């Protein structure tokens, strides 16, 4: 996927079916049309094991819990290796500041703070290295709770007790600009006061407060009405890191050759629009990086029965 197309889709544009294919991709698409699907599926699945199920999810949950516990333990035992919370912290003397939080602060106070610049520089490099929106799935505490709420939503939906009412994906882009404008006009970091990421991080470290009622209400709304509403349609943090991740060396990549186009990957994906290339005749090339909005959660990698989706470090031939 081309960089500009990837960013356009992340900002809310609809993915489109390609009109031109590489010679190799066109040959594979034609071969798939000629071979009976059932025969090909049996042949491909026979060469792939199912042992990878939930492998990346379990790793991700372990990392997410460990990172957040590090803040808690450091504060509780006054270790001072890690100070602050996820929105702004100092780790062994190095300043870390969430990119979106820093932007909100500078817009609100009309002043560029040196520590924020240093902190955002550190975080910018870190999330460029590890993959942009990987913050969302590998570190954000709300993501874990929302993931569990999504499982409840899907179980209720299967019993026809709830219905999902999706919003337009461009809503997040509009709200990004709204939150930035509110900070600049009001002199107050409006988004930070309602961000479940910051609220949960501070509650874990310093103790619970009334703001947790807001987080509970969000989760309840997601269970009953809009699946993963905050992460998909509201949170500007994901948009900020998605821009960083668009050129990250760590990517989830798609290989066309063995894909059966069954759609298991899209069913589990938080942002299924990034996996449009896995639909039949949607891959313009044999190997494609998944788009900028990808959270690198690994759910699609775990779900793929043919190994067509993998983690890859750009510039290195070894697939994880």
Q: Tell me the pLDDT tens digit for each residue of 151-210.
A: 999 999 999 999 999 999 999 999 999 999 999 999 999 999 999 999 999 999 999 999
Is residue 101 located within the same domain as residue 238? yes
Residue 155 domain flag:
yes
pLDDT digits (tens, 9 = 90+) for 103-145: 888 899 888 777 778 888 888 898 888 887 999 999 999 999 9
Cα separation, 229 vs 223, in Å, equals 9
Q: What is the mean pLDDT of the chain?
A: 90
What would the pLDDT profile of 243-275 be if each residue is shown by its tens digit? 888 889 999 999 999 898 989 999 999 999 999
Which H helix or E strand runs over 94?
strand 94-97
Query: 35-44: long-range contacts (C-beta < 8 A, 24 or more apart)?
Result: 37/260, 40/260, 41/260, 44/258, 44/260, 44/306
Q: Which residue has the tokens 């999330």?
A: 127
Q: Per-residue pLDDT averaged across 273-280, rounded?
A: 95
What's the total number of domains in the chain?
2
Predicted pLDDT of residue 67: 95
Strand partners, 319: 312
**Chain centroid to CA 125:** 17
Q: Among 208, 243, 278, give the residue marking a domain's end.
A: 243
Are 128 and 267 contained in the same domain?
no
Q: Tell me, rounded to whole angstroms, the distance of Cα 296 from its chain centroid.
A: 6
46 confidence band (pLDDT: 50, 70, 90): low
pTM of the entire predicted model: 0.90
Predicted confidence (pLDDT) per residue in 292-319, tens digit: 999 999 999 999 989 999 999 987 755 5
What's the alpha-carbon Rg for the chain, to the nearest Å? 21
pLDDT at 34: 80
Label residue 29 left, alpha or beta by phi (over 0 means left) and psi (-120 to 50 means alpha). alpha
Q: Which domain holds residue 18?
A: 3-47+249-313
Residue 221 sits in the same domain as residue 76 = yes
Residue ending a domain, choose from 220, 243, 266: 243
84 and 25 inside one domain: no
Predicted pLDDT at 196: 97
């Amino acid at each position: 996927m081309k960089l500009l197309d990837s960013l356009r889709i992340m900002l809310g544009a609809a993915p489109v079916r390609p009109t031109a294919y590489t010679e190799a991709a066109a040959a594979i698409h034609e071969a798939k049309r000629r071979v009976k699907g059932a025969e090909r599926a049996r042949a491909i699945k026979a060469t792939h094991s199912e042992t990878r199920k939930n492998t990346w999810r379990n790793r991700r949950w372990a990392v997410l819990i460990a990172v957040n516990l590090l803040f808690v333990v450091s504060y509780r035992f006054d270790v001072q290796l890690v100070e602050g919370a996820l929105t702004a912290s100092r780790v062994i003397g190095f300043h870390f500041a969430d990119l979106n939080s820093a932007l909100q602060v500078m817009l609100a106070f009309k002043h560029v703070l040196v520590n924020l610049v240093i902190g955002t520089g550190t975080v910018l490099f870190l999330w460029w290295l590890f993959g942009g929106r990987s913050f969302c799935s590998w570190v954000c505490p709300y993501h874990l709770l929302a993931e569990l709420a999504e499982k409840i939503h899907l179980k209720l939906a299967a019993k026809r007790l709830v219905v999902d009412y999706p919003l337009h994906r461009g809503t997040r882009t509009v709200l990004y600009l709204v939150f930035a404008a509110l900070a600049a006009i009001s002199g107050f970091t409006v988004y930070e006061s309602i961000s479940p990421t910051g609220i949960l991080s501070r509650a874990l470290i310093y103790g619970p407060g009334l703001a947790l009622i807001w987080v509970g209400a969000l989760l309840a709304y997601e269970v009953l009405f809009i699946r993963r509403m905050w992460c998909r349609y509201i949170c500007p943090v994901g948009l900020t890191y998605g821009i960083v991740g668009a050129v990250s060396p760590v990517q989830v990549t798609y290989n066309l050759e063995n894909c059966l186009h069954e759609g298991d990957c899209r069913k589990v994906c938080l942002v299924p629009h990034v996996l449009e290339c896995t639909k039949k005749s949607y891959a313009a090339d044999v190997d494609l990086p998944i788009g900028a909005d990808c959270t690198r959660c690994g759910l699609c990698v775990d779900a793929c029965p043919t190994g067509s989706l993998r983690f890859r470090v750009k510039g290195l031939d070894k697939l994880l």
